[in-house]
Amino acid sequence: MRLEGWHFIIIIVLALVLFAAPKLPGMARSLGQSMRIFKSEVREMKKDGAPDTTNGTGTAEGRDVNHPPSGATENRTGNGTAIPPPSRV
């Protein structure tokens, strides 16, 4: 008689039922809780990736920020509060 893959599966299931029967409900509960956590995290990731922070055109709204002057002394004209040119789109 030759043992195939499904024979091993039956042997493993029987061994679990015989030797780990008292622990099976706890393991099933733990597995169910892990699956619920995983599903909720996936749902949160999908919700975080949703374009709900857009201005209706599919692009996120932003604002211009003037960076404070650095502490290093440089040769500049003006008071050091120059605004960089707008980025190209």
pLDDT, position 56? 54
How confident is the model over 18-70, as pLDDT tens digits? Answer: 988 888 889 899 999 999 999 999 999 998 886 655 455 555 566 666 766 66
Sign of the CA dihedral with 70 first, then 74, 79, and 83 last:
negative
Bigger pLDDT: 72 or 7?
Answer: 7
Task: Read off the pLDDT band of 14 (50, 70, 90).
Answer: very high
Full DSSP string of 27-68: HHHHHHHHHHHHHHHHHHHHHHTSSTTB-SSSSB-----PPP
Q: What is the pTM of this model?
A: 0.40
| pLDDT value at residue 1 | 72
Cβ within 8 Å of residue 20, ≥6 positions away: 27
Q: Where are the domains of the chain?
A: 23-48
The dihedral sign for the CA sequence 41, 55, 66, 70 = positive
Q: How confident is the model at residue 81 (pLDDT cuts 50, 70, 90)?
A: low
